[in-house]
């Protein structure tokens, strides 16, 4: 067996629904996989019973998945390290592991967000925290709702890296009969799509919680994609990324599915819950709650207008009454629709 064909050793940092699901995906792709988590009961259940009933009730994990509480041991022999921790905690989790990561290992970020205070994308946080070159980092994003994938429903995803070899290795580690990775060199575009779509899903959820229908949903999704593209183009992203799997594909899934935590939390807010109440009712991390502020800060620093994102920030963090959200979602001057790919300011 050649080194290229040898089974890969993979580690997933994060034992939530997405981290555990991606561990199962890589095991089904032929990897031996270790999941690291902080919760002792969850880790023990994964290792002993092959289940994670807290986050994936009713799902049996493949035999190739085990788990540990020891992050350094989990990382020490990994060929592929997948990071699925909350985006705002990534740096504190990763920095202590920098000297434990093998020199040949590649790292794939499953996180969706922009770091508060630094405005850094997650791939930048990963590379900086682990002290590795950007060529060893990939990001994965697409219409990838964890519950559906855990049930082995077919889907596709995008693996983006500045290094084709890194992207191909990550794609090899997760390709299976039901999970189809496509590679893409546009790390910026893929990553921004993953971060901002959560914010747009919050807006859709809030509007639906207020009783608004499919016209509003379609409008917010479509104009939300314009906001994502406007920010991405300002940062040098490829316009072709936005109508693809990582852009419109992920945006549609996250905004429409009741399995989306960001959409669900938005619905709770729209129905009158406070943010704290909605977080509890949602029962998991909705990345858009925190990343909406960092996304807006990044856009403001670049002079990019993002009215939907701004409206979400005002509702969640600045006490704007939800009844005033609708008027802010489309708060732009009247003009021709325009085409984002031209690079011109779009309405």
Catalytic residues: 197
- CB atoms under 10 Å from CB of 63, counted, come to 9
Instruction: Kindly state the helix (H) or strand (E) to which residue 289 belongs, with its residue range.
Output: helix 288-302
User: CA distances (Å), 188 to each of 122, 124, 139, 233, 280, in order?
Assistant: 10, 10, 9, 9, 32
Q: Is 142 annotated as a binding residue?
A: yes
The set of long-range contacts for 161-165, using a CB threshold of 8 Å and a minimum separation of 24, is 161/135, 161/137, 161/185, 161/187, 162/134, 162/135, 162/187, 163/135, 163/136
Q: Is 52 annotated as a binding residue?
A: no
Which of 34, 31, 41 lies closest to 14 in space, CA to CA?
Answer: 34
Q: Is 323 annotated as a binding residue?
A: no
Contacts of 342 (CB under 8 A, 6+ apart): none
Q: Is 38 annotated as a binding residue?
A: yes
Q: Is 55 annotated as a binding residue?
A: yes
Q: State how far Cα 237 lies from the chain centre.
A: 17
Q: Is 271 annotated as a binding residue?
A: no
Q: Is 177 annotated as a binding residue?
A: no
Q: Is 48 annotated as a binding residue?
A: no
Q: Is 346 annotated as a binding residue?
A: no
Binding site as annotated, residues for sn-glycerol 3-phosphate: 112, 142, 197, 250, 260-262
Binding site as annotated, residues: 17-18, 38, 55, 112, 142, 146, 197, 250, 260-262, 287
Binding site as annotated, residues for NADPH: 17-18, 38, 55, 112, 146, 261, 287
């Amino acid at each position: 067996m050649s080194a290229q064909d040898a089974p890969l050793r993979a580690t997933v940092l994060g034992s939530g629904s997405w981290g555990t699901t991606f561990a199962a995906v890589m095991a089904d792709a032929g990897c031996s996989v270790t999941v690291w988590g902080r919760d002792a009961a969850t880790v023990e259940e994964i290792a002993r019973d092959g289940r994670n009933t807290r986050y994936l009730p009713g799902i049996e994990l493949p035999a190739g998945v085990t788990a540990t509480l020891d992050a350094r041991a989990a990382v020490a022999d990994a060929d592929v390290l997948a990071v699925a921790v909350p985006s705002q905690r990534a740096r504190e989790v990763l920095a202590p592991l920098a000297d434990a990561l093998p020199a040949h290992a590649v790292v794939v970020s499953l996180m969706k967000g922009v770091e508060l205070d630094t405005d850094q994308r997650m791939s930048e946080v990963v590379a900086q925290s682990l002290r590795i070159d950007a060529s060893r980092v990939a990001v994965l994003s697409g219409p990838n709702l964890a519950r559906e994938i855990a049930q082995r429903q077919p889907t596709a995803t995008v693996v983006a890296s500045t290094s084709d070899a890194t992207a191909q290795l990550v794609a090899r580690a997760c390709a299976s009969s039901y999970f189809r990775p496509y590679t893409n060199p546009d790390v910026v575009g893929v990553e921004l799509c993953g971060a901002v779509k959560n914010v747009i899903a919050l807006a859709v959820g809030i509007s639906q919680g207020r009783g608004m229908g499919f016209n509003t949903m379609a409008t917010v999704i479509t104009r939300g994609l314009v906001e994502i593209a406007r920010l991405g183009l300002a940062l040098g992203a490829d316009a072709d990324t936005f109508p693809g799997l990582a852009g419109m594909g992920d945006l549609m899934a996250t905004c429409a599915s009741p399995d989306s935590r960001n959409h669900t939390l938005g619905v709770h807010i729209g129905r009158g819950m406070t943010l704290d109440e909605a977080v509890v009712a949602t029962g998991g991390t909705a990345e858009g709650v925190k990343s909406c502020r960092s996304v807006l800060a990044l856009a403001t620093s670049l002079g990019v207008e993002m009215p939907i994102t701004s409206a979400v920030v005002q509702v969640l963090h600045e006490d704007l009454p939800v009844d005033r959200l609708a008027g802010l979602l489309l708060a732009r001057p009247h003009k021709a629709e325009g085409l984002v790919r031209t690079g011109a300011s779009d309405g």
